[in-house]
Structure 1
Amino acid sequence: MVVDDHPVVRDGVTLLLRSDPALSLVGAAESGRSALERVGRLRPDVVLLDLRLPDMLAPEVIAGLRQRHAPTRVVVFTAHGDHQGVLAALDAGASGCLLKDMAGTDLVAALRRVLRGERVVDPRILPDAEHRSDALARSGLTRREYEVLRLAAQGQTNPEIAESTGLTRNTVKTYLQAALHKLGARNRVEAIGKANEAGLL
C-alpha cells in the first residue's frame, strides 16, 4: 500500500511496481487517517509511507498501523533525508527509509529486501540524521516537544497541532512552553528561530 498525499507519487509507484510481477499494489491512501482505515481491510505486507502527511506524522501512522495490522512492515518514503522525523519513524518501528529520488529499480529491490525481513535505510540519510539526533539530545527536547515545535514551525496553530497529534490543546501548550524554556526563547517565533540555528528544523 502506498500512503502519500501527492497523486504523482502514488501513480509513479503504481507504475514502477507493475514492472515486477512479485509485487502488487493492494491500495493507496492520501492521508494518515485513510491509511489506518484501510490497512485492516487491505492487509498489505509493506506500506510505503510519506514522512509528512497533511494530518499526521509518520511515527503516529506507524504506531496506528501496528495496532491494526501488526505484520505490516512500514518503509518511510521521503524527499527530506535530513529530517529529524526520519529518526523518530525508525524509532517507532519503520523497517526502512528511502529517498524519493532513488531509481525505480532500486526502490523495487529495496522493497524486496524489506519483505525478506531486512532493514533498509538509504545511506544518504544517516550522516545528517545522526547530526540532528545529536542536536536534539543537546537541546534537551523530548520527541513530543520536538514534534509539537516542528508543527508550529510549519505554521500550525495550537488547535491544529492538537488535531494532528491527538493531544489536547492544554497538552500542546504545555509541550510548547517546555520547548520554549529549554531553547531559552520568549515566544514561538524565537523558539523556531533558535531550533533552526541548532539544526533541528
Structure 2
Amino acid sequence: MTPTTPATVFVVDDHPVVRDGVTLLLRSDPCLSVVGSAESGRLAIERVAALAPDLILLDLRLPDMLAPEVVTELRRVHPEGKIVVFTAHGDHQGVLAALESGAHGCLLKDAAGAQLVTELRRVLRGERVVDPRILPDAGQRSDALARSGLTRREYEVLRLAAQGQTNPEIAESTGLARNTVKTYLQSALHKLGARNRVEAIGKASEAGLL
C-alpha cells in the first residue's frame, strides 16, 4: 500500500447481507478497496493466501471454525495482513482468544460507517484498535496470562471449566478431543500450582485471569 494505492480489504462473514453491506460501505471510501470475501474460515484461509490483502475483516462466529483458529491460520498463510475481528457479541469469550491469537483489533458491528472506516485506517497504520465496549479489561488479562505461563489453549479450557462446563462439554465447544481437554486442564493446574479444577479456578481468578 502506498499513499496513492488503496489498501486492499477481504471480508469474512457467513451472512450475505453483512458481507454485501460492509463491502458497499468500504467501497465508498477511496482509501479502501474490497478485493474479495468468504463465508467460512477454510475458504477465507484459502483465498487470503492467494489474494494477500492488506486487511482481513473477520466475523467472530463462523460455521466451520473457531475465530482464534482462523486468526492463527490467516497469520500463517499471510503474516503481513492485518486482522480485525468484527462482531455483534462484544462480551463473547472468543474475543479475547482471537486477540491473543494475533488479531490486530476488534470492532462491533453496530459501529457507524465513518467510524468503522476510521478505525480500519488506524489498524492499517499499525495501531491495535479494540472498541472500548469490548472486554475493557482485556489488556490486563493478557498481561496476567503472560505472567501465568498458560498457553492460549490451556487458558481457554480453564475459562470454560470456570463457566461450569464438563470436559465433554469443553471438548464440544472447542472441537478438541476429550483426552486433549484433560491434558490441557492438567497442565493448567500444574502451572497454577493447584490440586484440582476448583482450586485452579480460584487461583486464576485471584491472578486476574477470569
Per the TM superposition, whether the score is higher than 0.5 is yes
CA distance in 1, matches of 2:11, 2:180: 32
1:134/1:115 Cα in 2 relative to 1: closer, same or farther (>3 Å)? closer
CA distance in 2, matches of 1:37, 1:74: 15
CA distance in 1, matches of 2:171, 2:100: 26
Q: Give the match's secondary structure for 1:25.
A: strand
Bigger CA drift: 125-134 or 21-30?
125-134
- Residues 2 and 47 in structure 1, CA contact (< 8 A), matched pair in contact too: yes
Task: Please give the residue correspondences for 1:166-185 in structure 2 after superposition, counting only pairs within 5 Å.
Answer: 167-175=176-184, 181-183=196-198
Task: Confirm or deny that 1:115 pairs with 2:124.
Answer: yes
1:28/1:183 Cα in 2 relative to 1: closer, same or farther (>3 Å)? farther
> What do the CA deviations read for 1:114-145 (whole angstroms, capped 9, x no partner)?
111111111222426468779999xxx86424
> What do the CA deviations read for 1:151-172 (whole angstroms, capped 9, x no partner)?
8989x8677557x4xx444213
* Unmatched runs of 5 consecutive residues or more in structure 1: 185-190, 192-199
1:26 aligned residue (25, 35, 53): 35
- Please report how far the alpha carbon of residue 46 of structure 1 lies from its aligned counterpart in structure 2 after TM superposition: 0.3
CA distance in 2, matches of 1:160, 1:38: 28
Q: Percent identity?
A: 74
CA distance in 2, matches of 1:10, 1:172: 34
1:77/1:113 Cα in 2 relative to 1: closer, same or farther (>3 Å)? same
Match of 2:103 in 1: 94
Bigger CA drift: 19-28 or 142-151?
142-151
Q: Determine which structure has greater relative contact order: mean sequence separation of CA pairs < 8 Å that are 6+ residues apart, divided by chain length.
A: 1
CA distance in 2, matches of 1:6, 1:115: 25
1:132/1:101 Cα in 2 relative to 1: closer, same or farther (>3 Å)? farther
Q: Give the match's secondary structure for 1:102.
A: coil
2:59 aligned residue (41, 47, 50): 50
Match of 1:16 in 2: 25
- Please report how far the alpha carbon of residue 40 of structure 1 lies from its aligned counterpart in structure 2 after TM superposition: 0.9
- Please report how far the alpha carbon of residue 36 of structure 1 lies from its aligned counterpart in structure 2 after TM superposition: 1.1
Q: Alpha carbon RMSD of aligned pairs, Å?
A: 3.5
- Residues 100 and 142 in structure 2, CA contact (< 8 A), matched pair in contact too: no
- Residues 148 and 161 in structure 1, CA contact (< 8 A), matched pair in contact too: no
* Unmatched runs of 5 consecutive residues or more in structure 2: 1-9, 189-195, 202-209
CA distance in 2, matches of 1:117, 1:135: 24
Task: Please give the residue correspondences for 1:65-104 in structure 2 after superposition, counting only pairs within 5 Å.
Answer: 65-104=74-113
1:50/1:149 Cα in 2 relative to 1: closer, same or farther (>3 Å)? farther
- Please report how far the alpha carbon of residue 83 of structure 1 lies from its aligned counterpart in structure 2 after TM superposition: 2.5
1:136/1:41 Cα in 2 relative to 1: closer, same or farther (>3 Å)? closer
CA distance in 1, matches of 2:19, 2:12: 7
Amino acid at match of 1:11: D
- Please report how far the alpha carbon of residue 84 of structure 1 lies from its aligned counterpart in structure 2 after TM superposition: 3.1
> What do the CA deviations read for 1:7-63 (whole angstroms, capped 9, x no partner)?
221111011012112211111111211111111111110001112222222221111
